Amino acid sequence: MKRTTVMLPESYWLALKEVAEREGSSPSELIREAVAAYVAERRPKAEPSFVGAGESGRGDVSRLAEELLEED
């Protein structure tokens, strides 16, 4: 793990310590969980490797790839 420093308003720090104590955890663990969730939510979604691998006869597949993949 990499050590870093995070500056928080005192009210956030106190609330974080309270939650950590109530959950039997540490403030550091709660911060790691929050950062992991934040990063996972914002990580770009990779397109499946098969997108663009074949021919559909449609001229709009690359423009509509996301919509077409969501269709049932």
14-39 pLDDT, tens per residue?
Answer: 999 999 999 999 999 999 999 999 99
- The count of structural domains within the chain is 1
Q: Which domain holds residue 25?
A: 9-44
Does the residue 30 lie in any domain?
yes
pLDDT at 72 over 70: no
pLDDT at res. 4? 93
Does the residue 70 lie in any domain?
no
Does the residue 21 lie in any domain?
yes
In the predicted model, what is the mean pLDDT of the chain?
A: 86
Does the residue 23 lie in any domain?
yes
Q: How far apart are CA 12 and CA 30, in angstroms?
A: 12
Are residues 52 and 62 in contact, defined by beta-carbon separation less than 8 angstroms? yes
pLDDT at res. 49? 72
pLDDT at 61 over 70: no
